[in-house]
């Protein structure tokens, strides 16, 4: 490289450094105006970051709650069962269990019996899940939702015990150890009535699940069903995490080509839709915040340019070309945007981190309305690296776009006319 070229590059780098220092100093010449726009950007980014974390935590928490209480990651049924919950549409447990040993997952087998649960005061329609308590506790978390004072999850020696939700306990006006009767139709079409004692009362964050689901021991109801020995209606499969579903799904479908293998996304497609669009909606929400802030940034920088008309004209007169003036205005805008964004994001993180542990309880604002539709009332915000990348990209983009109009306005100034002003 020639010495002249090295000197030219060195001079360019030095000028760029000085231009950057000048741009930084310029934004503090009017501290009140810069402070106002920084406050607006900080507030906007704090609100956007918090809202994104809240939305992400709400959807992921709702999905995890549904998976851990009722859906599991996969369910296996006879092909005719899901159409109308036909009690005859069963399969043999041993045939399925033998093939599932190769899958790294917890598995539970259930009978799903649709019927009527009645007390002396009322009656409700429910699905009784006939289970083996030990294996069910490895797949679902319902047992964790039973307070110490409201019984256990079928793990004691109580004969014909049943676990019901608090909602159904209130409807039936029963309490722990109360007697209730479950009536259903067996495979021969005969009505069967079995008396149970309330052995546990649970409450989850999914009101719809609570209203329709009760748990009984498999052995307590099997003799009344008329089904062949070893028959079950459902296999619930819980994997280590949601990401594992992509790997296991084709394996299960290959293992059971003649059975109905459904992932949680098929069992609750609306919830899967909400989760898949969470990232998209996050970008939209943050984009709206930054779009609104862009007008404030444009207005501030335009005022700064108009107030410095004489100064910018002088810079042009002494030899600073239009591209350098354009770059200086762009740098000033980007500095304002980035500084406000950094403060806003830090403030958001400071508020979000404690909430990630304690959760945000929405019950005082909406009661149990969210739970009635299957959404959790307690939200644990989630911060992800992808969220920060999206935020930084959108902030830089908003800052650059907001700087274009004020910078172009500065380019239209004629040096001689500006000096005379």
**Do 184 and 202 fall into the same domain?**
yes
Q: Are residues 308 and 360 in the same domain?
A: yes
Clarify whether residues 209 and 178 are in a common domain. Answer: yes
Q: Give residue 403's pLDDT band: very low, low, confident or very high (50, 70, 90).
A: confident
Confidence of residue 54 (pLDDT cuts 50, 70, 90): confident
Phi and psi torsions of 241, nearest 5°: -160, 175
The pLDDT, as a whole number, for residue 53 is 87
- The answer on 360 and 292 residing in a single domain is yes
Query: Residue 97: which pLDDT band, with cuts at 50, 70 and 90?
Result: very high
Helices 322-358 and 278-307: crossing angle, nearest 10°? 140
- Indicate whether 296 pLDDT > 60: yes
Q: Are residues 84 and 221 in the same domain?
A: yes
Q: Which of 238, 264, 293 is the last residue of a domain?
A: 238
β-pairing, 91-92 vs 231-232, is antiparallel
Statement to judge: residues 223 and 100 lie in one domain: yes
Query: Which is more confident, 115 or 69?
Result: 115
Higher pLDDT, 271 or 177: 177
Is 414 contained in some domain?
yes
pLDDT for the residue numbered 186:
95
Question: How many angstroms separate the CA atoms of 281 and 387, rounded?
Answer: 12
What pLDDT is stored for residue 378 in this prediction? 81
pLDDT band (50, 70, 90) for residue 251: very high
Q: How confident is the model at residue 273 (pLDDT cuts 50, 70, 90)?
A: confident
Tens of pLDDT, residues 144-180: 999 999 999 998 888 899 999 999 999 999 999 999 9
Find the range with the poorest average confidence among 141-150, 191-200, 350-359: 350-359
Do residues 46 and 185 both lie within one domain? no
Q: State yes or no: pLDDT of 6 exceeds 80.
A: no
Residue at 257 is within a domain = no
Lowest-confidence range among 11-15, 94-98, 262-266, 280-284?
A: 11-15
φ, ψ of residue 332 in degrees (nearest 5): -60, -45
pTM: 0.77
pLDDT at 366: 65
- The answer to whether residues 352 and 325 belong to one domain is yes
Q: Which residue has the tokens 């159409």?
A: 83
Residue 409 — pLDDT band, cuts 50, 70, 90?
Answer: confident
**How many alpha carbons lie under 13 Å from residue 266 in its C-beta half-sphere?**
11
Residues 298 and 224 in one domain: no
Considering the domain boundaries, does residue 403 fall inside one? Answer: yes
Q: Is residue 259 part of a domain?
A: no
Mean pLDDT value across residues 400-419 = 70
Distance CA 413, CA 407 (A): 10
DSSP code, position 376: -
Q: Which of 86-90, 341-345, 414-418 has the lowest mean pLDDT?
A: 414-418
SS3 234: strand
> Residue 414: what pLDDT?
61
User: pLDDT category, 343, cuts 50, 70, 90?
Assistant: confident
pLDDT class for 190, splitting at 50, 70, 90?
very high
Query: Do 90 and 202 sit in the same domain of this protein?
Result: yes
> Domain span at residue 22?
14-65+276-420
At residue 43, does pLDDT exceed 80?
yes
**pLDDT band at residue 410 using 50, 70 and 90 as cut-offs:** confident
Residues 207 and 79 in one domain: yes
Determine the average pLDDT of the residues in 129-155.
95
C-alpha 230/C-alpha 171 separation (Å) is: 34
Domain annotation covers residue 269: no
What share of the chain has pLDDT > 70, as a percent?
Answer: 91
Distance CA 17, CA 269 (A): 55
Domain termination site, one of 212, 238, 264: 238
Percentage of the chain beyond pLDDT 90 is 41
* Residue 353 is assigned to a structural domain of this protein: yes
> Which pLDDT value is given to residue 3?
57
With respect to residue 327, please indicate whether it lies within any of the assigned structural domains: yes
pLDDT band of 11, cuts 50, 70, 90: low
pLDDT beyond 70 at 80: yes
Mean pLDDT, rounded, for 243-258: 93
- Is residue 198 assigned to a domain? yes
> Residue 301 — pLDDT band, cuts 50, 70, 90?
confident
Cβ distance 282 to 56 under 8 Å? yes
* The predicted structure's pLDDT at residue 74: 97
Pair (38, 158) in one structural domain: no
The average pLDDT across 326-348 equals 83
Q: How many domains does the chain have?
A: 2
């Amino acid at each position: 490289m020639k010495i002249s070229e090295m000197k030219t590059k060195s001079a360019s780098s030095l000028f760029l450094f000085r231009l950057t220092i000048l741009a930084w100093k310029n934004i503090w010449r009017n501290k009140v105006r810069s402070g106002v726009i920084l406050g607006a950007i900080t507030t906007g980014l704090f609100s956007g970051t918090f809202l994104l974390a809240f939305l992400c935590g709400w959807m992921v928490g709702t999905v995890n709650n549904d998976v851990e209480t009722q859906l599991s990651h996969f369910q296996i049924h006879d092909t005719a069962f899901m159409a109308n919950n036909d009690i005859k549409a069963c399969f043999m447990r041993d045939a399925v269990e033998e093939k599932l040993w190769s899958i790294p997952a917890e598995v539970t087998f259930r009978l799903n019996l649709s019927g009527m649960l009645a007390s002396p005061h009322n009656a409700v329609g429910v699905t009784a899940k006939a289970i083996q308590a030990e294996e069910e506790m490895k797949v679902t978390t319902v047992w964790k939702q039973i307070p110490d004072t409201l019984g256990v999850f079928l793990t004691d020696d109580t004969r014909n015990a049943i676990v019901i939700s608090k909602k159904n306990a209130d409807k039936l006006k029963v309490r722990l150890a109360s007697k209730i009767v479950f009536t259903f139709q067996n495979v021969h079409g005969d009505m069967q009535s079995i008396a149970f004692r309330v052995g546990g009362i649970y409450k989850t964050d999914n009101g719809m699940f609570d209203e329709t689901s009760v748990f009984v021991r498999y052995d307590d109801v099997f003799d009344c069903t008329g089904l062949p020995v070893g028959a079950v209606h459902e296999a619930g499969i819980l994997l280590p995490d949601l990401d594992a579903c992509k790997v296991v799904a084709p394996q299960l479908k290959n293992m059971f080509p003649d059975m109905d293998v459904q992932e949680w996304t098929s069992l609750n497609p609306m919830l899967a839709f909400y989760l898949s669009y969470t990232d998209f909606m996050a970008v939209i929400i943050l984009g709206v915040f930054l779009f609104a802030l862009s007008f404030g940034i444009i207005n501030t920088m335009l005022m700064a340019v108009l107030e410095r008309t004489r100064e910018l004209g002088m810079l042009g007169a002494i030899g600073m070309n239009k591209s350098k003036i354009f770059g200086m205005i762009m740098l000033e805008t980007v500095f304002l945007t980035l500084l406000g964004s950094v403060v806003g994001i830090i403030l958001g993180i400071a508020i979000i981190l404690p909430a990630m542990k304690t959760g945000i309880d929405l019950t005082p604002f909406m009661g149990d309305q969210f739970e009635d539709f299957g959404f959790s009332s307690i939200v644990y915000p989630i911060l992800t690296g992808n969220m920060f990348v999206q935020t930084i990209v959108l902030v830089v983009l908003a800052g650059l776009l907001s700087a274009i109009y004020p910078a172009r306005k500065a380019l239209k100034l004629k040096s001689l006319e500006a000096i005379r002003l």
